[in-house]
């Protein structure tokens, strides 16, 4: 029997942001997501984002899995307007279908105006057919994974399940935790040895923010990262803040743990050149660093696999994790007194700043 998914108890409140780190892998972890597949997945991700009202703050698409830092805002009090509903429907439905829904809404509004029906009944009935899929973690992921699977199976003449049974999700506090998680996600291709600089990877929020141009999804990616780094300060997804202050701060965080190596080569003119290269950390480098300094710096920690960030259930400050624990006390036995667990292993650099709900003992 599966346990219920961890969901933020305050997810219907407009006073506290709700971020989830979501991860899903291809069945048998097969490497089937090439360039074309990643482009399609990203396009569908943006479509689902527009329809659902959720926001992708950070993401990275790898060859056999993906990571999303997803913000799930509550449905606005009183719901959304007819115009907003039709705009969102246009993201996933054709013009003819949206036109028919617009006609239904117009008829419902006419009945209300003529005193023939109550607005809460006829208008809500039309809205309700679609809004139950909005502002919801499970519905967002279900819609995205199903839509991509349908496209992928048609493209590759296959049938059946593409993704593992359930996607993983971890509740992430805004502020330090969200900023750290966004960087951890964008550094996936560096940890995998695919690129040395996360800006070089096309299918990530940082790569798209850097190279996506002033319009379109480059702007969307920048706005998402601004939200990841500034939500705790009350900032919205404001692309204008990226160039002013956020880009430099985020770049510094991403490159803080880069290992510098002196590389010597012979230039075109036959003169010996020396330059510094930066990259991720190999397993051997991690062990040498820990032997020398006792523990990794926080920047170098982000260039290692941190299991707490994928399996910790809730990540944030001590008070944040304890609050989540108290709201779901029924999940635990009577012997457990609090929720926050200190980070260990390769995550020890963040101990005392970030805490986990789960006390992981292997592969941390």
pLDDT at 269: 60
How many domains, the chain?
Answer: 3
Residue 13, in any domain of the structure: no
Question: Residue 3: is its pLDDT beyond 80?
Answer: no
pLDDT at 4: 78
How large is the average pLDDT for residues 166-170? 95
- Measure Cα distances from 97 to 91, 104, 271, 330, 362 in Å: 12, 11, 67, 45, 51
Q: Give pLDDT tens digits for 64-79.
A: 999 999 999 999 999 9
How large is the average pLDDT for residues 43-66? 97
Chain length of the chain: 364
Q: Which of 250, 156, 145 minimizes the C-alpha distance to 204?
A: 250
More confident residue, 338 or 364: 338
DSSP H or E segment with residue 127: helix 119-131
> Are residues 33 and 159 both part of a single domain?
yes
How large is the average pLDDT for residues 329-341? 90
Domain span at residue 223 reads 19-75+137-257+300-356
Q: Give pLDDT tens digits for 34-43.
A: 999 999 999 9
- Measure Cα distances from 204 to 163, 186, 313 in Å: 20, 6, 23
Question: Residue 138: is its pLDDT beyond 90?
Answer: yes
Q: Which of 89, 336, 38, 133 minimizes the C-alpha distance to 104?
A: 89
> Are residues 143 and 210 both part of a single domain?
yes
Residue 191, in any domain of the structure: yes
How large is the average pLDDT for residues 188-216? 90
> Are residues 236 and 285 both part of a single domain?
no
Question: Residue 252: is its pLDDT beyond 50?
Answer: yes
> Are residues 149 and 199 both part of a single domain?
yes
Q: Give pLDDT tens digits for 286-334.
A: 444 443 433 457 888 999 999 999 999 999 999 999 999 999 888 888 8
pLDDT at 258: 72
Question: Residue 1: is its pLDDT beyond 80?
Answer: no
How much is the pTM?
A: 0.88
CB of 149 within 8 A of CB of 162? yes
More confident residue, 290 or 7: 7
Please state, in angstroms and rounded to a whole number, the distance separating the CA atoms of residues 23 and 96: 35
> Are residues 245 and 275 both part of a single domain?
no
Give the CATH number, domain containing residue 164.
3.30.70.1290
Residue 11, in any domain of the structure: no
> Are residues 295 and 223 both part of a single domain?
no
Please state, in angstroms and rounded to a whole number, the distance separating the CA atoms of residues 326 and 9: 10
Mean pLDDT of the chain: 88
How large is the average pLDDT for residues 111-136? 88
Residue 2, in any domain of the structure: no
Q: What is the dihedral of CA 280, 286, 289, 292, to 10 degrees?
A: -170
SS3 151: helix
- Of 9-13, 62-66, 237-241, 326-330, which has the strongest mean pLDDT? 62-66
> Are residues 39 and 148 both part of a single domain?
yes
> Are residues 231 and 295 both part of a single domain?
no
């Amino acid at each position: 029997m599966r346990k219920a998914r961890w969901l933020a108890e305050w997810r219907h409140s407009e006073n506290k942001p709700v971020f989830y780190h979501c991860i899903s892998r291809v069945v048998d972890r097969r490497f089937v997501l090439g360039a074309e597949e990643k482009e399609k997945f990203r396009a569908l991700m943006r479509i689902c984002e527009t329809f659902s009202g959720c926001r992708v703050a950070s993401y990275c698409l790898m060859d056999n899995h993906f990571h999303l830092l997803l913000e799930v805002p509550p449905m606005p009090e009183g719901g959304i307007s007819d115009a907003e509903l039709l705009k969102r429907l246009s993201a996933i439905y054709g013009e003819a279908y949206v036109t028919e829904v617009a006609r239904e809404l117009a008829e419902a509004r006419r009945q209300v105006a003529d005193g023939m029906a109550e607005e809460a009944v006829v208008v809500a009935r039309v809205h309700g057919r679609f809004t139950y899929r909005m502002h919801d973690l499970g519905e967002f992921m279900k819609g995205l994974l199903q839509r991509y699977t349908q496209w992928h199976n048609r493209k590759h003449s296959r049938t059946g399940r593409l993704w593992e049974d359930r996607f993983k999700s971890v509740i992430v506090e805004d502020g330090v935790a969200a900023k750290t998680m966004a960087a951890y996600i964008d550094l996936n291709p560096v940890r995998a040895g695919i690129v040395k600089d996360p800006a070089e990877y096309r299918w990530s929020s940082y790569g798209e923010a850097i190279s996506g141009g002033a319009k379109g999804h480059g702007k969307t990616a920048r706005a998402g990262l601004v939200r990841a780094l500034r939500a705790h300060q009350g900032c919205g997804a404001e692309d204008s803040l990226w160039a002013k202050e956020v880009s430099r701060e985020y770049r510094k965080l991403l490159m803080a743990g880069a290992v510098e190596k002196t590389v010597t080569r012979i230039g075109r003119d036959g003169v010996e050149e020396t330059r510094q290269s930066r990259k991720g950390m190999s397993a051997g480098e991690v062990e040498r660093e820990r032997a020398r300094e006792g523990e990794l710096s926080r920047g170098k920690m982000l260039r290692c696999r941190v299991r707490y960030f994928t399996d910790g259930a809730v990540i944030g400050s001590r008070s944040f994790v304890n609050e989540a624990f108290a709201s779901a006390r029924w999940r635990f036995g009577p012997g457990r007194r609090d929720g926050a667990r200190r980070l260990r292993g390769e995550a020890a650099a963040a101990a005392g700043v970030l805490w986990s709900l789960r006390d992981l003992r292997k592969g941390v």
